[in-house]
Amino acid sequence: MNGGGAMIEMRIAEIETVGANVKRFRFTRPNGGQLPRFSAGSHVVVTMQDGDHRRRNPYSLMGSLLDDRGYEISVLRAPSSRGGSHFLHDRVSVGDPITVSYPVNLFPIDMRGRKHVLAAGGIGITPFIPMAEQLAAMGREFELHYAMRDEARGVYAAMLRERYGDRIRLYRSVAQERISIDRILESQPLGTHFYVCGPEQMTDPFLDDARALGWPEQNLHVERFTAPPSGERFRARLAKSGIEVEVGEHESLLDAIERAGVQAPFLCRGGVCGACEARVLGCTGKLSHNDHYLGQEDRESGGKIMICVSRLKGPELVLDL
């Protein structure tokens, strides 16, 4: 199943430092062969074997849509990382093998849009690079607002300005420049679609501003990848498989299930898509929902959990897996 099992064995063809704590990685087939095409807004899940521990992290594809010989991602070395960004920054070299999922798109351009307003924060710029390429090639109207701490952290800003001119607006927090998203959105023509990708302290207020202005939900698009939070150890019993697993403090429920040899479905591993939803048969403790998929009613019922980012505060969880 694409994204939840089908993987491509690749090699690291290029590693480039592109900004403060940001590296660009290019993956190709070992034989240089053709890769499945991807659409703007797509991501891949990269599998990293870190000793005995296997990590799987999602990253937005940022390469050209015309390039069928390589996939490119950019990775910020995050101080709060559980190890994925540190592994890619410190432990890999050009020529190393790497396993990458087939591309999945949970953040596509809505072609019904009369105009497209894009808002990026920091490393959240990556999905907008192919989006801008596609919109420009199709002659569609768009503008991109890019917030960064300073020029050193505004990766790809110069490239984007060179390609698309004044359609790219830059905001540097060190210069007290701030995106006033309410002012930007209040003057847009009817039928405009709004896309945002960045840290939650940016995406949630931007979406709230859009809703306050009366923007319909179908015109709002957000890219989120929630890192699985740490927590106390707990035991997960898989009723169908007859397996019991211990979920570590810095391990997701999905990681622990895979470590036990059970292949659970997934697409984003970030609490957004709903592919990894599991039915809860029982639990001793309280479910800690960290996803952006389940509604309040489902959360309160205690009957479902997104195993990629959510966990249990308590000793035991029983799942229908």
Bridge partners, residue 74, by sequence: 24
Given 105, 130, 161, the domain boundary residue is 105
pLDDT for position 227: 77
Given 177, 192, 223, the domain boundary residue is 223
Same domain flag for 87 and 142: no
Residue 229 lies in a domain: no
CATH number of the structural domain spanning residue 250: 3.10.20.30
pLDDT for position 3: 40
Angle at 127 between CA 135 and CA 68, to 5 degrees: 80
Same domain flag for 202 and 244: no
pLDDT for position 81: 64
pLDDT at 2 exceeding the cut of 60 = no
Judge whether 290 and 231 are in contact, CB under 8 Å.
no
- The mean per-residue pLDDT over the stretch 289-315 comes to 95
pLDDT for position 50: 81
Q: What is the pLDDT of residues 141-176, one digit of tens each?
A: 999 999 998 877 789 999 999 999 999 999 998 888
Residue 1 lies in a domain: no
Same domain flag for 177 and 211: yes
Residue 300 lies in a domain: yes
Same domain flag for 11 and 93: yes
Q: How many domains does the chain have?
A: 3
pLDDT at 209 exceeding the cut of 90 = yes
Residue 313 lies in a domain: yes
CATH number of the structural domain spanning residue 194: 3.40.50.80
- The mean per-residue pLDDT over the stretch 196-205 comes to 93
Given 86, 105, 124, the domain boundary residue is 105
Same domain flag for 142 and 87: no
What value does the mean pLDDT of the chain take? 93
Residue 70 lies in a domain: yes
Query: Which range among 81-95, 200-214, 269-283 shows the weakest confidence by mean pLDDT?
Result: 81-95
Same domain flag for 197 and 287: no
292 or 16, which is more confident? 16
* pTM of the model as a whole: 0.90
Residue 72 lies in a domain: yes
pLDDT for position 80: 64
Domain that residue 272 falls in? 234-319
pLDDT for position 224: 83
Residue 59 lies in a domain: yes
Residue 110 lies in a domain: no
- The mean per-residue pLDDT over the stretch 193-212 comes to 95
Q: What is the pLDDT of residues 171-194, one digit of tens each?
A: 998 888 999 999 999 999 999 999
pLDDT for position 55: 86
pLDDT for position 1: 35
